[in-house]
């Protein structure tokens, strides 16, 4: 038995701008339902409304700061929710730092490292579990 795309759900981090928004749009266009993750709830809801309207799919918004333990835990919990399975995970959230390494505050570097390395590892582990 084959599964149609509209029976699948994709979770996209960093979903309100840039590549994340484009990933979400292309997945919606192919019929995937979406869980959109980003920090800004207002932008998430705006994106969700457009995608639902344009592609007749359902979109869940999950505001979360993926540089924080609380934010990551919220997304991990959603990925592990067996009653609402996620079939596709797009780890796209990212930030850039304006200064060179030695000029950045070490706490900014730690958040940067968390977002680009530790958080994707934790989300992949939850999705595969």
* Contact between residue 11 and residue 78 where contact means Cβ atoms under 8 Å apart: yes
Dump the DSSP string for 25-72: HHHHHTT-EEEEEES-HHHHHHHHHHHHHHH---EEEEE--TTSHHHH
**Mean residue pLDDT across the chain:** 94
Q: What is the mean pLDDT of residues 1-13?
A: 74
Give the position of tokens 């999705």: 127
pTM above 0.75, yes or no: yes
pLDDT at residue 92 in the model? 96
pLDDT at residue 6 in the model? 60
* Contact between residue 125 and residue 96 where contact means Cβ atoms under 8 Å apart: no
Tens-place pLDDT, residues 37-54: 999 999 999 999 999 999
pLDDT at residue 129 in the model? 85
53-83 residues labelled b (16+ CB within 10 A) or e (exposed): eebebebebbbbbbbeeebbebbbebbeeee
What distance in Å separates the CA atoms of residue 109 and residue 129, rounded to the nearest whole number? 29
What distance in Å separates the CA atoms of residue 50 and residue 44, rounded to the nearest whole number? 10
Q: What is the mean pLDDT of residues 109-119?
A: 96
Residue 4 has pLDDT above 90, yes or no: no
Q: Whole domain around residue 110: which residue ranges? A: 5-128
CATH at residue 89: 3.40.50.720
Residue 1 has pLDDT above 50, yes or no: no
Q: What is the number of domains present in the chain? A: 1
pLDDT at residue 7 in the model? 87
Residue 86 has pLDDT above 60, yes or no: yes
What distance in Å separates the CA atoms of residue 111 and residue 62, rounded to the nearest whole number? 20
Residue 2 has pLDDT above 50, yes or no: no
pLDDT > 90: percent of the chain: 93
Contacts for 37 with CB less than 8 Å, ≥ 6 apart: 11, 12, 13, 14, 15, 44, 62, 63, 64, 66, 75, 93
């Amino acid at each position: 038995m084959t599964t149609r795309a509209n029976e699948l759900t994709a979770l996209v981090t960093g979903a309100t701008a840039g590549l994340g928004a484009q990933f979400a749009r292309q997945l919606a266009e192919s019929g995937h339902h979406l869980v959109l993750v980003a920090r800004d709830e207002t932008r998430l809801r705006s994106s969700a409304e457009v995608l639902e309207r344009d592609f007749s799919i359902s979109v869940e918004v999950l505001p979360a700061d993926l540089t924080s333990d609380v934010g990551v835990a919220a997304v991990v919990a959603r990925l592990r929710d067996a009653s609402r399975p996620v079939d596709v995970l797009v780890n796209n959230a990212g930030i850039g730092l304006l200064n060179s390494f030695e000029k950045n505050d070490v706490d900014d570097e730690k958040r940067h490292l968390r977002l680009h390395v530790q958080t994707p590892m934790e989300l992949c582990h939850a999705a595969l579990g």
